[in-house]
Amino acid sequence: MEIKLTYTTPDTKVIEQLQKTLGCHPIITRLLADRGIVTADEARFFLNPDYSRLSTPFELKDMDKAVERIYTAVSNKEKILIFGDFDADGVTATAMLYQFLGLVEADLSWYVPHRTKEGYSLQVPHIEMAVSMDVDLIITVDCGISSHDAVEAAAKEDIDIIITDHHEPDTTVPHALAVINPKQADCSAGLDYLAGVGVAFYLIMGLRKIFRDNGVWEQYPEPRLSEYLDLFTIGTIGDMVPLVQDNRVLCVAGMKRIRRGLRPALVSMARTSRIDLDKLDSDDISFRIVPRLNAAGRISHARICVSHLTCPAPAQTETTAALLDELNRKRQLIEKEIVEDIERRIATDPSILENRLIVLWDTGWEASVLGIAASRIARKHACPVVLLNSKDDIAKGSCRSINQINIHEILSKVRNVLETFGGHAMAAGLSMRKENLARLKPALVNILNLIGTEKDFKPVRKIDAVIEIADITPELVRQIDMLRPFGTGNPEPVFLMENVWVVSSIIMGGCHRKMTLTDQRGEHKVEALHFNLSDTTGLPEFFPKLIVKLKTDRFRIDRVQVIVQDS
């Protein structure tokens, strides 16, 4: 499938001014300008962020109500239940709030539901469980914004609920004691980029202040908020929210804390994931740490992760990290089988791709990994994908979208054929009656035809700059690294190389090509790696175009590696 290349076009005057003031590489000023950073002050803060510009937690709607109620509950030794989600965002948020409130000896317990047996978010049976536990206050993290029935049931049992969430709210929100969600229309905090763990972190910020105002820290040691930034960073990067503004500031600090090896759980996971903790970056979190945390909720139970992240004993975390590693391997095998099954179906029946939307279901698919499978299929075929497990009367599944097509908005317009749905613009979950499955694709296609445009379905690769081999130096890569951590909202720079020749190449590991590239005159050379080739025969010796990323060789910091993305 042909990939459309788009090029950044930042204001040349801004680039020139930043270059003059900062004295950094011209490519860096171009990257900064493309991120909306137009003044020297903004640039300096972006490159060297600190806590001076963090938002106050009390800008979030209902924060004052929430912290007052929690302070009262702690003071009166009321029973508090922290209720979290089963993904990396939810378990880090649960662990964070549990550890913080544990410092003041709150009467605490936590609960994370089983993904397939109980489903997503707070439900009426969970209120019944809370009643049996004599719970007085429930605090949700990374969930709850759609739990209307559960909140009503709790009110009848005189249980207060504080919702902290970041998922898209519906037209109405539950009538909880407090609802902290920066995506609410009447919340003016400007923090709608926070993940669930981010909202929980701001709750902790608010609690620390009210505890200070009421003399709580005269009885207990006052914690530094930086102690929780490792969990904040794992959950934030794991949930793929924009790494901008406060998220960037806190993740930069959180990465430094993770590298210090202060949390036994993360040290153990780094070892089993074969990560050099001293050199850990956002890719290590995205592709090694987070999948292992998510695997527990998909294959077993996410409560393993909360216990793991809060465990102070290295010997115990080593055992749990090994278990998470094994669960992740099982998850990969299950996902691979589903993706291969879908590709076989498409090869046999190309009509599946009609209307630029894939909607499929199967009784044998593991519902817990359908989101990952949908992501792979959506990327390959450049269209939204909906996959469901149809084993039971209520089919459950996941959606993934592309480009600017908001899948949550589309689902909201076909709610008449759904039982439940929720999520984000690019990813959502849904359930529906089995007898309605055949109605789903036609309904979605009708909406897609109304809101989608031709360009929405074309795979696009954004090019940050055209680069010559002579430009590729260790100093340039060192300056690029100052833009880290990379992720949503702050993507890793992508460069275009033109007219390059292969001087030499070898195949490593059966499918990876290591090359030495040179320019037309043969004056400059650079090492390049192209991973996971589908065919290692007849490889080109000349590339009119190469789409690449630049990295420092982890084993030799004075050497640059070109990582080929596409040709």
Confidence of residue 31 (pLDDT cuts 50, 70, 90): very high
> Is pLDDT larger for residue 456 or for residue 298?
298
Q: How many whole angstroms separate alpha carbon 311 and alpha carbon 190?
A: 34
Low-confidence winner among 79-83, 102-106, 158-162, 468-472 (lowest mean pLDDT): 468-472
Low-confidence winner among 36-50, 97-111, 165-179, 444-458 (lowest mean pLDDT): 444-458
The answer to whether the CB of 517 falls within 8 A of the CB of 525 is yes
Low-confidence winner among 84-98, 313-327, 406-420 (lowest mean pLDDT): 406-420
Q: Is 556 a residue whose pLDDT tops 80?
A: no
So what's the pLDDT on residue 534? 83
Q: Is CATH 3.60.15.10 the right assignment for the domain spanning 57-258?
A: no
Structurally, at CATH architecture level, domain 354-457 sits in Roll (3.10)
**Location of structure tokens 């998909």:** 298
How many CB atoms within 10 Å of residue 336?
Answer: 13
138 bridge partner residues: 81, 161
So what's the pLDDT on residue 522? 83
Q: Is 538 a residue whose pLDDT tops 90?
A: no
So what's the pLDDT on residue 2? 64
> Is pLDDT larger for residue 117 or for residue 135?
135
So what's the pLDDT on residue 192? 96
Crossing angle for the helix pair 314-348 and 264-272, nearest 10 degrees? 50
So what's the pLDDT on residue 523? 84
Q: What's the average model confidence in pLDDT over 324-341?
A: 96
For 229-249, what is each residue's pLDDT tens digit? 999 999 999 999 999 999 999
Q: What's the average model confidence in pLDDT over 307-331?
A: 97
Helix (H) / strand (E) element for 441: namely helix 437-451
To 5 degrees, how large is the angle CA 331–CA 334–CA 335? 85
Helix (H, G, I), strand (E, B) or coil at 402: coil
The answer to whether the CB of 397 falls within 8 A of the CB of 361 is yes
- What is the CATH number that goes with domain 461-566? 2.40.50.460
Q: What's the average model confidence in pLDDT over 481-488?
A: 92
Q: What's the average model confidence in pLDDT over 430-443?
A: 95
387 bridge partner residues: 360, 398
Confidence of residue 315 (pLDDT cuts 50, 70, 90): very high
So what's the pLDDT on residue 1? 56
Domain spans of the chain, in order of start: 57-258, 260-288+305-348, 354-457, 461-566
Tell me how far CA of residue 318 lies from CA of 89, 231, 246, in angstroms. 22, 18, 32
Cis amide prior to 49 (ω within 30 degrees) = no
Phi, psi values for residue 154, rounded to 5°:
-65, -40
Mean pLDDT, the chain, rounded, equals 93
The answer to whether the CB of 266 falls within 8 A of the CB of 256 is no
